[in-house]
Amino acid sequence: MSDSVVDLRPVKPAPSPASMEKPSVDFSYVGIDAILEQMRRKAMKQGFELNIMVVGQSGLGKSTLMNTLFKSKVSRRTGLGSADERIPKTVEIKSISHEIEEKGVRMKLTVIDTPGFGDHINNENCWQPIMRFINEQYEQYLQEEININRKTRIPDSRVHCCIYFIPPTGHSLRPLDVEFMRRLSKVVNIVPVIAKADTLTLEERDFFKNKIREELQANDIDVYPQKEFDEDAEDRAINERIRGMVPFAVVGSDQECQVNGRRLLGRKTKWGTIEVENIAHCEFAYLRDLLIRSHMQNIKDITSSIHYEGYRVRRLNECNAQTNGFDEQDVTSHEL
Ligand SMILES: Nc1nc2c(ncn2[C@@H]2O[C@H](COP(=O)(O)OP(=O)(O)O)[C@@H](O)[C@H]2O)c(=O)[nH]1
Ligand SMILES: [Mg+2]
């Protein structure tokens, strides 16, 4: 009874001369605040869903980082198969879903792996299959939504966030990185990270981060959290700090190490252990906090209200134009 939302016990004690003089019940209290508890219960029952796509060259630590993020074997590491398997000839997109539970809260995490992005000698248009995949998920959602007999809960396979792995060259973004992020940032939330940041010295890392930020700005690439979607001054202040840190210089590991009697996720080297969750060592913790602890709902809201909405409007306009007899050429401008 103690944690129930609505207390059904009679609120008024049996009338007595004393209570008639001094009412003990606050009649001005309606109980609106109890809606938070109702929402919490509903959310706990439904569970949470998050679809994260990881993009980058093979061997940059994408699968390892996903394991680090969820501290379990959620994503298969790059196998040591044949040469053909290691460097696939085509971009092959794989979705793997995992049910994760922590403190009674269930989450369905789907990791969409895109092995081999940018591995080829000629990488022209290699962003296309990824763009197609993202649009296909929007299309599926749209078809479910416009169904007459639609489901009460539409299965959501839309990509909520795309983590883009930048190789730790220490120089600048490659034309491929610019092209990918420029195009994809218009249809999905992009979070760029510097992969394997343990290969850079602190000065190299700072230089590289600044350089990337400058290049993103120069190329008009709006990565998450996008300035134009800040809701208020408080939001802006928080997001400005994050924008000042992007791209996160991350180190991943799914191996536990013993450091000063503590067990933690780290990379043991001859020089010592890199603790992946230690902010003095790398920025993995900032990435995790952004994706899971502070901005998960916002990432999903922006996917739904901005990116998916944009797709929906374009598609429905396209259909209208077709039924009105316009030339198809004029309305397929959404093919970015
Ligand atoms: N130095 C370093 N190596 C890493 C890091 N993350 C992963 N690796 C190693 O890089 C190799 C490829 O990692 P994997 O996660 O399979 O890369 P993927 O192909 O991008 O999914 C493995 O041997 C990992 O142990 C990192 O942050 N730093
Ligand atoms: Mg992998």
17-76 pLDDT per residue, tens = 554 555 567 778 888 888 888 988 888 888 889 999 999 988 899 988 988 887 754 554
- Asked if residue 331 belongs to a domain, the reply is no
Nearest to 70 by CA among 193, 254, 310: 254
Domain extent for 208: 43-252+284-303
- Please tell me which residue, 82 or 292, carries the higher pLDDT value: 292
Candidate from 64, 69, 196, 283 with most ligand 1 atoms within 8 A of CB, to mutate: 64
Q: Is the pTM of this model over 0.85?
A: no
Residue ID of nearest Cα to ligand 1 atom 7: 61
- Asked if residue 16 belongs to a domain, the reply is no
272-304 pLDDT per residue, tens = 899 998 899 999 999 999 998 899 999 999 999
Ligand 1 nearest-atom number relative to CA 78: 16
Give backbone dihedrals phi and psi of 178, rounded to 5 degrees, phi first: -65, -45
**Cβ-based neighbours of 255, under 8 Å, separated by 6 or more:** 265, 266, 267, 268
Query: Into how many domains does the chain fold?
Result: 1
Contact 256, 329 (CB under 8 A): no
Whether residue 103 is predicted with pLDDT greater than 90 in this model: the reply is no
93 token code pair? 């997109």
Ligand 1 nearest-atom number relative to CA 77: 16
- Asked if residue 271 belongs to a domain, the reply is no
Task: Indicate the helix (H) or strand (E) that contains 263.
Answer: strand 262-269
Using the mean position of ligand 2's atoms as its centre, give its distance from the Cα of residue 40 in Å: 35
284 token code pair? 């993995």
Using the mean position of ligand 2's atoms as its centre, give its distance from the Cα of residue 248 in Å: 19
47 token code pair? 């569970």
What is the band of 89 on the pLDDT scale with cuts at 50, 70, 90?
very low
pLDDT score at 332: 45
Whether residue 9 is predicted with pLDDT greater than 50 in this model: the reply is no
pLDDT score at 17: 54
pLDDT score at 33: 85
pLDDT score at 22: 59
Q: Which ligand has an atom closest to residue 86 CA?
A: 1
What is the band of 94 on the pLDDT scale with cuts at 50, 70, 90?
confident
Sheet with 256-259, edge to edge strand ranges = 256-259, 262-269, 272-275
Tokens 């990379």, residue located = 267
Contact 52, 112 (CB under 8 A): yes
Residue ID of nearest Cα to ligand 1 atom 28: 196
| Helical segments of 170-232, H only | 175-184, 202-218
Whether residue 116 is predicted with pLDDT greater than 70 in this model: the reply is no
Q: Which ligand has an atom closest to residue 196 CA?
A: 1
68 token code pair? 């680090």
Span 133-148, average pLDDT:
93
- Asked if residue 93 belongs to a domain, the reply is yes
Q: Residue 310, class by beta-carbon neighbours within 10 Å (0-12 exposed, 13-18 middle, 19+ buried)?
A: middle
CATH code of the domain containing 83: 3.40.50.300
**Ligand 1 shell residues, CB under 6 Å:** 58-64, 77-78, 196, 198-199, 251-252
- Asked if residue 59 belongs to a domain, the reply is yes
Using the mean position of ligand 1's atoms as its centre, give its distance from the Cα of residue 251 in Å: 9
217-259 pLDDT per residue, tens = 999 999 999 999 988 999 999 999 999 998 999 999 988 888 8
- Asked if residue 61 belongs to a domain, the reply is yes
306-317 pLDDT per residue, tens = 999 999 999 999
What single-letter DSSP state applies at residue 13?
P
Residue ID of nearest Cα to ligand 1 atom 6: 61
Helix axes 128-146, 175-184, angle to 10 degrees: 10
pLDDT score at 58: 86
Mean pLDDT of the chain, nearest integer:
83
CA distance 314 to 333: 9
- Asked if residue 127 belongs to a domain, the reply is yes
CA distance 36 to 56: 40
- Asked if residue 177 belongs to a domain, the reply is yes
Lowest mean per-residue pLDDT among 21-35, 100-114, 151-165: 21-35
